[in-house]
């Protein structure tokens, strides 16, 4: 999928109207919808809150005749609801946007294993749960990298080309992040623990706290804006937040894009951390066949192209080509992703949270 090491990138804005128009035409795959049956529904509990996903879901119904009933909440809220509902839950498919949350739902027994040759063939092993004789509990369908955004006026690219350097004293007073306990950061920190062990990870987190420009607050877009305004010199942000700014025609966003630089850390080492959006069939699904059909659709070429072109995520299916100018501006032909298994990161989150408490990472 993404295998060309490109340590650091400079951005250029491009017009996207033609690409978006072409994509909109390509999404409507010519196929007659099957006649809807009384139970031709799939109940989706989704943590994806992207307006662009509406066309993704509408296309599934058009192709299959299966209606999607959707409940929206964040990852933690969905897992809490599933636990509270138990066997009475109406959920068929669970769609989450973080590896640690997927691991947690799996560990709590909220998903059921499924067998699908098409999913096993399409989704790389590192982007899905470990298979058992009963099947596989969850699959990742798109990825986003945890990149470093830096102020080109203050920071040298060589000082942010690894995650380790974010804790270097030379970057004191420059770092901004959202809460350390946010799932995006927990997953990155969990990956670091896989690579360097508990003791060194805690030492690294101590260094991050020492280098903070301010207390953690806001979301990833706030961190990017903080760098562009000069409040911060360095920030962590998922790439799809960056891509939204690069694709924007707003003058303020164009000014941000001009000010910031982007680093994909550890291109000469373990690779840049990636997180996933993934799905599972609920333990007590009332329409399991429809649920599997929906998940297989998410691995199809039209859906995978939509993740890339509609929401600026990298497809999980290696053969899908990207036609997104913002992603291409960021990473050219690709970048080296961290090869650590996504399913191994979640188990570290309890210890990571304990470390965050000890080092005072808010």
pLDDT digits 0-9 by tens, 51-103? 778 889 999 999 999 999 999 999 999 999 999 999 999 999 999 999 889 99
pLDDT digits 0-9 by tens, 143-198? 999 999 999 999 999 999 999 999 999 999 999 999 999 999 999 999 999 999 99
Judge if 297 and 228 occupy the same domain.
no
Judge if 92 and 229 occupy the same domain.
no
Residue 336 lies in a domain: no
Instruction: Give the global pTM.
Output: 0.85
Reported as a pLDDT band with limits 50, 70 and 90, residue 308 is very high
Judge if 152 and 125 occupy the same domain.
no
Residue 102 lies in a domain: yes
Q: What is the domain count for the chain? A: 2
Judge if 113 and 211 occupy the same domain.
no
Judge if 238 and 286 occupy the same domain.
no
The domain of 201 spans 145-272+341-359
Judge if 104 and 252 occupy the same domain.
no
Q: How many Cβ atoms from other residues are within 10 Å of residue 279's Cβ?
A: 25
Residue 13 lies in a domain: no
- Among 22-31, 97-106, 246-255, 309-318, whose mean pLDDT is lowest? 22-31
Judge if 248 and 186 occupy the same domain.
yes
Residue 50 lies in a domain: yes
Please tell me the distance from the alpha carbon of residue 316 to that of residue 309, in angstroms, as a whole number: 13
Residue 206 lies in a domain: yes
Reported as a pLDDT band with limits 50, 70 and 90, residue 322 is confident
Judge if 169 and 302 occupy the same domain.
no
Judge if 229 and 161 occupy the same domain.
yes
CATH of the domain at 31: 3.40.190.10
Tokens at 278, concatenated: 């993934």
pLDDT at 38: 58
Helix/strand/coil for 176: strand
Reported as a pLDDT band with limits 50, 70 and 90, residue 347 is confident
Residue 297 lies in a domain: yes
Judge if 74 and 137 occupy the same domain.
yes
Residue bearing the bigger pLDDT, 93 or 350:
93
Residue 212 lies in a domain: yes
Please tell me the distance from the alpha carbon of residue 120 to that of residue 128, in angstroms, as a whole number: 9
Distance of CA 348 to the CA centre of its chain: 18
Judge if 86 and 202 occupy the same domain.
no
Please tell me the distance from the alpha carbon of residue 58 to that of residue 321, in angstroms, as a whole number: 22
Residue 147, φ and ψ in degrees, nearest 5: -95, 170
Residue 323 lies in a domain: no
Judge if 211 and 348 occupy the same domain.
yes
């Amino acid at each position: 999928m993404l295998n060309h090491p490109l340590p650091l990138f400079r951005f250029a804005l491009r017009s996207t109207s033609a690409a978006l128009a072409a994509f909109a035409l390509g999404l409507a795959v010519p196929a007659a919808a099957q006649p809807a049956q009384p139970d031709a529904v799939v109940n989706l509990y989704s943590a994806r809150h992207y307006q662009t996903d509406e066309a993704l879901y509408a296309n599934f119904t058009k192709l299959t005749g299966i209606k999607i009933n959707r409940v929206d909440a964040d990852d933690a809220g969905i897992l809490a609801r599933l636990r509270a509902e138990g066997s009475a839950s109406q959920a068929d498919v669970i769609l989450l946007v973080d590896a640690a949350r997927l691991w947690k739902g799996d560990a709590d027994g909220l998903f059921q294993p499924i067998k699908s040759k098409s999913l096993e063939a399409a989704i790389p092993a590192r982007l899905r749960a470990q298979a058992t004789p009963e099947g596989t509990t969850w699959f990742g369908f798109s990825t986003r990298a945890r990149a470093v955004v830096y102020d080109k006026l203050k920071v040298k690219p060589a000082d942010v080309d690894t995650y380790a350097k974010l804790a270097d004293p030379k970057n004191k007073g420059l770092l901004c992040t959202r809460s350390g306990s946010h799932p995006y950061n927990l997953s990155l920190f969990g990956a670091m623990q896989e690579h360097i062990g508990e003791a060194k990870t805690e030492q690294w987190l101590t260094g991050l706290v020492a280098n903070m420009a301010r207390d953690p607050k806001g979301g990833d877009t706030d961190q990017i804006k903080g760098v562009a305004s000069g409040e911060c010199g360095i920030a962590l942000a998922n790439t799809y937040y960056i891509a939204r700014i690069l694709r924007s025609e707003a003058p303020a966003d164009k000014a941000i894009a001009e000010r910031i630089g982007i680093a994909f850390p550890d291109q000469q080492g373990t690779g840049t951390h990636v997180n996933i959006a993934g799905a599972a069939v609920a333990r007590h699904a009332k329409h399991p066949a429809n649920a599997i059909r929906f998940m297989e659709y998410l691995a199809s070429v039209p859906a995978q192209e939509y993740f890339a072109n509609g929401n600026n995520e990298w497809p999980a299916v290696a053969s899908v080509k990207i036609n997104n100018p913002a992603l291409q501006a960021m990473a050219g032909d690709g970048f080296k992703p961290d090869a650590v298994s996504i399913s191994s990161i979640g188990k570290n989150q309890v210890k990571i949270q304990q470390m965050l408490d000890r080092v005072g990472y808010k």
